Chain A
Amino acid sequence: MPAVEINRVSFLVLRELRRPIMVLLLVYAFSIIVITYTPGPVIDGKTHHMSIFHAIYFVTYTVTTTGFGEIPGEFSDAQRLVAMVILYVGVIAWLYSIGAIIHLMQNEHFQNALKEHIFINEVNRLSSGFVIICGFGDTGSLLARGLSDNYISGVVIEANPDRIKALALRDYRVAMPGLCADASIPKHLLEAGIRSPNCDAIVTVTNDEEVNLRIAVLARLLNPDLHIIARSKVEVYEEMLASLTDHVAVIDPFKTFADGLMMSIYNPVMYALDQWLVGARGASLKKAVCPPRGAWVICGYGHMGHEIHRVFDEHDIPTVIIDSEINDVDAIPNLINGRPTERTLRRAGVDKAAGIVSATADDGHNLAILVNARTINNSLFSVVRQNLHQNEVAFSAADADIIMQPSLVTARRILFRLIAPMLNELQEYLHERNQEDSEYINRLIEHLSSVVGYKTPHMVTITLTRQDAPALIHYLNVKQVQVTLDDLLRDPRMRDEHLTTLPLVIHSGQESIILPDLSYQVKENDKILLCGRSAAHRLLNASLNNPYTLYYLITGQDQTRSWFLKAVPRLINQIKQTLSGTSRSIQNG
């Protein structure tokens, strides 16, 4: 496929430049022939003619208007006449050719073809695994930043040329090639490397649900084994996406948030742990956000209002909804039809309510609702939706209890699906355990904070393959030594201590072990999800690659590195043995 595109660019260049080059060729040939035939000055009764070499030299500097003073010899008047003709014809031919080149360069289609060509080359040059990101809005750019922080490349397809320009100006730690194109056209997905063995996943976060669905279907058809992560905010699309393939994950930021909010009301500790694991801003193991259980006012019955109303309804928390754009007023109980002003807020009972959710699609309205409601009831628990990333400062100043930024929720969820796909299993397991034994989570949090600390942890998935952990695999396969997690997670600077990291999940073959014991014996191709400090993960990575550090970690001894220093004691031993052998034979003899 790429070969065709390369041909297309060179084909365009050749086709457009065919005529100018032909014109130049003819003009040069004509000039050279004419000047050689023109009689030169007469010296010693012999008429001199210019040689072909001199003619080429003369024409070259004349038609490019360089005009060196040095000429092969003095000219006759006939030659001077011809020289003038050559100059004018040649200059016109050059102007025409340069004009044609500039014309080609300015051609929009040519520019697009050239950009596509460069994009394909960039994608082909990506050596490690990459993720295709369709849509570079708020979510796409947050996701790209997160991927870059984890040293994963992204390939971006975005239809808006301004956003692609913005992408080009960002400073990422890894390559992030971008193409301005419609991602729902199969050709562009192929150009983005959807069939490349390095492609790990495709993420669809365009603002158009239809487009997201179309991309997911195309991805399913073009590469059936590829992981697809789709953002969707509409139930119908979610169902259609989910039924596509086993490899699809649908992220609905509002549903995620509503479920989280409910969890934080009924199980604040579990919620705090969840947030801490996914590295939410301000999340700490020490303090849990505890929304109250009283009556709530929901302003704006869009998708977010809908989802929050659903979960509150399921748990029998009384709600009042304020919205002015509902057609079927009777379908929703406790609806106040109108804009959320002070009057409607009072009617909704804000003065007695426990909490308020401002969930309209307009940031200005959301902030206004928050300020209005606070003047009526200062002790309100406030949840506010921030639609645009650029309004960050205003929302921080508003000092709401929970700021819900859909793009951030989506980006973080997707990021963790990509960098720590096993985290989901842990969370599911914890939810199950939590229902059986509510003290379990508290004990786990205590353990986590004693090892990792309260601050947001760094998550990493390490794969014990020949490529990523050569020293360890050599150890396991060649030396046939058993290595436990306890050995690996020791501190290479001080073997008695452990690194500040904790294994959360291990995938070994078909088996998956949650919160493994340190006595677990690692095997080749194991995948381990670790949660800890990034410095510890760097040290671990170094130990997995350096045979000497690994030897020290496992045995506690420094291995002799020098071949010579190893050979000398061996030699001495041999000599000793031979000597004792001979002395014994002498004694025996």
Chain B
Amino acid sequence: MNFDKVIFGFFIILALTLNFGFFLGEYENPEHHRSYEFFGVIVVNFIATLLKLGDRSQIGAILLASSLVADLQLIAAAVYWGVAVHVNETGLTPEVMSSIVSLSGGALLANIISVIILISDTLMSRR
């Protein structure tokens, strides 16, 4: 067992599970999608990206790419959230909330891909 791999796997899988938790619920209902949860998703995703930096192998490149996609989607959702609440002051109407949740759904997909690559790489090395 390798301690590096434990930390690495932990954050990548945590990014996925938190993201899934946020995504779960009625997609128009702000009650089901908490801002703290969303904040947690973003932070863990950033940590996962940071851990993926520096890998020179092909698989490392794909892992990093999928993480960057997730980050991009989450940042877009966060900016939209902030603008809707504080700039336009429309508040979390069903339209706004559904946009935010669908953006986080995209990030969820990128995180799923990340985890699949991680697991298949581990299985391929067979040790």
Q: Which of A493, A558, A563 has a CB less than 8 Å from the CB of B54?
A: A563
Do residues B125 and A561 form an inter-chain contact, with CB atoms below 8 A?
no
Q: Which of A495, A547, A562, A563 has a CB less than 8 Å from the CB of B8?
A: A562
**In the assembled complex, which residues on chain B have CB atoms less than 8 Å from the CB atom of A565?**
4, 7-8, 51
Chain A 531-551 interface mask (CB, 8 Å, partner B; 1/0): 000000000000000111000
Provide the bound-state CA to CA distance between A566 and B50, in Å.
12
Number of interface residues of A (CB under 8 A): 15
The reply on A435 being an interface residue by CB < 8 A is no
Do residues A563 and B53 form an inter-chain contact, with CB atoms below 8 A?
yes
The reply on A43 being an interface residue by CB < 8 A is no
CB proximity of A572 to chain B, nearest CB, Å: 14
**In the assembled complex, which residues on chain A have CB atoms less than 8 Å from the CB atom of B54?**
561-564, 566
Q: A546-B57, A547-B56 are in contact. Are A562 and B4 (CB under 8 A)?
A: yes
Q: Which of A494, A547, A558 has a CB less than 8 Å from the CB of B4?
A: A558
**In the assembled complex, which residues on chain A have CB atoms less than 8 Å from the CB atom of B60?**
561
A-B contacts at CB below 8 angstroms, number: 42
Chain A 550-581 interface mask (CB, 8 Å, partner B; 1/0): 00000000101111111000000000000000
Q: 8 Å CB contacts to A: which residues of B8-51?
A: 8, 50-51
Q: 8 Å CB contacts to B: which residues of A494-548?
A: 494-495, 546-548
Provide the bound-state CA to CA distance between A245 and B126, in Å.
51
Q: Which of B5, B50, B125 has a CB less than 8 Å from the CB of A492?
A: B125
CB proximity of A570 to chain B, nearest CB, Å: 13
Do residues B125 and A564 form an inter-chain contact, with CB atoms below 8 A?
no
Provide the bound-state CA to CA distance between A547 and B53, in Å.
16
Chain B residue at smallest Cβ distance from A474: B56
Q: 8 Å CB contacts to B: which residues of A168-189?
A: none
Provide the bound-state CA to CA distance between A547 and B50, in Å.
21
**In the assembled complex, which residues on chain B have CB atoms less than 8 Å from the CB atom of A548?**
56-57
Do residues A562 and B53 form an inter-chain contact, with CB atoms below 8 A?
yes
Q: Which of A495, A558, A560, A564 has a CB less than 8 Å from the CB of B50?
A: A564
**In the assembled complex, which residues on chain B have CB atoms less than 8 Å from the CB atom of A546?**
57
Chain B 69-100 interface mask (CB, 8 Å, partner A; 1/0): 00000000000000000000000000000000
Provide the bound-state CA to CA distance between A558 and B125, in Å.
12
CB proximity of A38 to chain B, nearest CB, Å: 62
Chain B residue at smallest Cβ distance from A567: B54
Do residues A493 and B57 form an inter-chain contact, with CB atoms below 8 A?
no
Q: 8 Å CB contacts to B: which residues of A447-480?
A: none
Which among A546, A548, A565 has the greatest number of chain B C-beta atoms within 10 A? A565
Chain A residue at smallest Cβ distance from B63: A561
Do residues A493 and B125 form an inter-chain contact, with CB atoms below 8 A?
yes
Do residues A493 and B126 form an inter-chain contact, with CB atoms below 8 A?
yes
Chain A residue at smallest Cβ distance from B58: A546
Provide the bound-state CA to CA distance between A361 and B97, in Å.
84
Q: 8 Å CB contacts to A: which residues of B99-119?
A: none
The reply on B2 being an interface residue by CB < 8 A is yes
Do residues A561 and B57 form an inter-chain contact, with CB atoms below 8 A?
yes
**In the assembled complex, which residues on chain B have CB atoms less than 8 Å from the CB atom of A560?**
4
CB proximity of B29 to chain A, nearest CB, Å: 37
Do residues A564 and B56 form an inter-chain contact, with CB atoms below 8 A?
no
Provide the bound-state CA to CA distance between A565 and B50, in Å.
9
Provide the bound-state CA to CA distance between A565 and B12, in Å.
14
Q: A493-B125, A493-B127, A494-B127 are in contact. Are A562 and B57 (CB under 8 A)?
A: no
CB proximity of B46 to chain A, nearest CB, Å: 11
Chain A residue at smallest Cβ distance from B55: A561
**In the assembled complex, which residues on chain A have CB atoms less than 8 Å from the CB atom of B50?**
562, 564
Provide the bound-state CA to CA distance between A565 and B2, in Å.
12
Provide the bound-state CA to CA distance between A564 and B57, in Å.
16
CB proximity of B124 to chain A, nearest CB, Å: 9
Chain A 361-397 interface mask (CB, 8 Å, partner B; 1/0): 0000000000000000000000000000000000000
* 8 examples of A-B residue contacts, CB within 8 angstroms: A493-B127, A494-B127, A495-B127, A562-B53, A562-B55, A565-B7, A565-B8, A566-B54
11 additional contacts (CB under 8 A) given A563-B54, A564-B54: A492-B125, A493-B125, A493-B126, A546-B57, A548-B56, A561-B4, A561-B8, A562-B53, A564-B50, A564-B53, A566-B54
Q: Could you tell me which B residues sit within 8 Å of A by CB distance? A: 2, 4-5, 7-8, 50-57, 60, 125-127
A-B pairs with lowest CB-CB distance, top 8: A563-B54, A561-B55, A493-B126, A562-B51, A563-B53, A564-B50, A560-B4, A558-B2
